[in-house]
Homo-oligomer: A and B are copies of this chain.
Amino acid sequence: MNRFLSHATNRIDAKGRVSVPSAFRAAVSEAGVRELYCFQDFVFPAVSVGGPELLDRFERQMAAEDPFSDAANQMSLLVHGGGVFVKLDPEGRLMVTDFIRDFTGISTDVTFVGRGDHFQLWEPRAFARAQVEARERRKQRGLRPE
């Protein structure tokens, strides 16, 4: 699996570290990446994490918009200026900084959520709520997956 799929919740230890699920670590190292880039999501109260190619994704998104629009400006500010680098320790853990805590509401546990080409850090209950909401929205739209 070279993509980020599924989800898992891990505990933050006394030093503020949390283990990245092994499936995600495998996907990261498979891409040969040791340093990850992360920034605040545009839609959800979550922090997105990925390799350098994650920047490409948002540059594509920005390219899809008028480069001088407000939206493109804000996106650049958040992605280029607002992002931070995160390193994994030899055991595959990362430090949960205030940058992450403040935006997500994370305090003691982190839910890692696969998003295909990247993954996200969520406060566990916020993730549960967002899922319920997304499901409700789909029902309202009457869209069926099949």
A interface residues with partner B (beta carbon < 8 Å):
4-7, 23, 37, 40, 42-44, 55, 57-58, 61, 64, 68, 70-71, 73-78, 80-85, 113-116, 120, 127, 130-131, 133-135, 137-139, 141, 144-146
Task: Check A4 against B80 for contact (C-beta < 8 Å).
Answer: yes
Count the copies: 2
Task: Check B78 against A114 for contact (C-beta < 8 Å).
Answer: no
Task: Check A5 against B115 for contact (C-beta < 8 Å).
Answer: no
30 contacts between A and B (CB under 8 A): A4-B80, A5-B55, A5-B80, A6-B81, A6-B83, A7-B84, A23-B85, A40-B135, A42-B138, A42-B139, A43-B73, A57-B145, A58-B145, A61-B68, A64-B68, A71-B137, A74-B134, A74-B138, A75-B134, A77-B130, A77-B131, A77-B134, A78-B131, A78-B134, A80-B113, A80-B114, A80-B116, A81-B113, A81-B115, A81-B120
Q: How far apart sit A5 and B83, CA to CA, in the bound complex (Å)? A: 7
Task: Check B42 against A115 for contact (C-beta < 8 Å).
Answer: no
